[in-house]
Amino acid sequence: MAGEQEKRNAAIAAIDYVEDGMTLGLGTGSTAKHFVELLADEVADGLIVRGVPTSAQTQRLAEAHGIPLLPVDQVQQIHLTVDGADEADGQGQLIKGGGAALLREKIIANASDQMIVIADPSKQVETLGAFPLPVEVTQFGFTITAKKVFDALVASGIARPKVELRQGADGQPVVTDGGNFILDCHCGIIPDAPATARGLADVPGVVEHGLFIGLARTVIFGSQDGAIVLDHT
């Protein structure tokens, strides 16, 4: 599939940033999966690294491929995190959380010396917002929180947001690794992502939101025959 080849080529380009002895944040999602699999090949050839997974799913994948892992409570330094994104704009601002791992992803990314985002070209946008913005909230009082999230979105300049509780195939609410719910916020256009991020962070009951601002130094978009690397300061 064309999309899978583009994702894999982005992951191949990210491997070039990995150095022997690094502690690596391992992202979650279909593109990050390619990176984990490629990293496993390097480990099998003698590369010495330790991984810090951002989800139970990634932990299982890394363990199955023989990548040494470091418990997060033993982490002293994360040199590099490689993760995917649901959207990335020209400033390196991201929407993440389609895989419901945004809280752990942001904790690891924020603790890293460098974050590299890998994605296929469909994730590149001029303005964030077409992909529903995930907001992780506590189960307690989530309906109250959802109303406050709506108000915060409107206050930050989003015209007609729609806030929905994410449900699984079984019709039950999706529960994150942290035991929380996900609100998917259909925004259309997010005109001021930093303002939206600040507004959401101020809502009691919001554990974390999927706007990643100022975290991705490098964004790599895979193509059919290689990759395009965009560096942001």
164 is known as an active-site residue = no
pLDDT tens-digit profile of 65-93?
999 999 999 999 999 999 999 999 999 99
Residue 87, both tokens: 């959207």
User: Which amino acid, residue 25?
Assistant: G
pLDDT tens-digit profile of 176-229?
999 999 999 999 999 999 999 999 999 999 999 999 999 999 999 999 999 999
pLDDT tens-digit profile of 23-48?
999 999 999 999 999 999 999 999 99
Alpha-carbon dihedral sign for residues 186, 29, 35, 9: negative
Residues 6+ apart with CB under 8 A from 151: none
Query: What is the pTM for the complete model shown?
Result: 0.94
- Predicted pLDDT at 232: 85
* 32 backbone dihedrals φ, ψ, rounded to 5°: -60, -30
Structural Rg of the chain based on CA atoms: 17
CA nearest to 208, candidates 176, 162, 170, 171: 176
pLDDT class of 3 with cuts at 50, 70, 90:
confident
Given a cut of 60, whether residue 2 has pLDDT beyond it is no
6, 87, 105, 208: which is the annotated catalytic residue? 105
User: Which amino acid, residue 19?
Assistant: E
- Predicted pLDDT at 1: 53
Given a cut of 90, whether residue 60 has pLDDT beyond it is yes
pLDDT tens-digit profile of 88-138?
999 999 999 999 999 999 999 999 999 999 999 999 999 999 999 999 999
